[in-house]
Amino acid sequence: MLGAPATSLHQDAVTRILQELCEGDREAFGKLMPVVYDQLRKLAGRCLRAERPDHTLRATALVHEAYMRLVKADLPWRNRVHFYAVASRVMRHILVDHAKSSRRQKRGGGGEKLSIDEAVLVSPGTLPQIIELDDSLNRLSIHDSRKAEIVELLFFGGLTHEEIAAALSISPATVQRELKLAKAWLYRDLSLSTQ
């Protein structure tokens, strides 16, 4: 096989463009969108997959809103994994803002339901609202920020254990161990908050 695999070329292109951004080339974001769009769309699809079918926010709108917020961010981009980690956090905040807005419009009615992937919570039958999940993740972050970040990168970012390990400079075994503890913590916290 001639040349590098497509995923390696993608990773190299994203890293190169992010380096250009760090060197002050603000127009590099224009080059970045075509390269990262498919991956951002996958992240958005993953975030929205568990939402109700008639959810008013679509993946394309989520990608575009996230991208606009990323363009405005003045961050020292470290690498591709860092970019996608920040993108996942931005998407989480957009979904929470959207759910809060919907709740306000319904005058206190229920927010959007989000089924928490079994990789995040130990109880597959639990369906907390996205606002409750966000509140719980914020409480976990106060208690243990790394565990909260691992959950966020896995659930909202769709990163693999290896990518999370690289983003946080820890081993994949540590990611798995911390994720188990985070699942238990979130399950307990969400159970207590719904009582």
Summarize pLDDT for 13-72 with one digit per residue, the tens. Answer: 888 998 898 888 878 888 888 888 888 888 787 777 656 555 567 888 888 888 888 888
In the structure, how many helices (H) and strands (E) does the chain have?
A: 8, 0
For 141, the 3-state DSSP assignment is helix
The β-bridge partners of 129 are: 113
Positive/negative CA dihedral, 135, 58, 15, 80 = positive
**Cβ burial, residue 77 (10 Å; 0-12/13-18/19+):** buried
Summarize pLDDT for 9-27 with one digit per residue, the tens. Answer: 777 888 899 889 888 887 8
Look at residues 160, 137, 161 and name the one whose alpha carbon lies nearest to residue 148.
Answer: 137
Residue 129 main-chain phi, psi, to 5 deg: -75, 155
pTM for the full predicted model: 0.66
Summarize pLDDT for 100-128 with one digit per residue, the tens. Answer: 776 665 544 444 444 434 333 333 333 34
**Cβ burial, residue 122 (10 Å; 0-12/13-18/19+):** middle
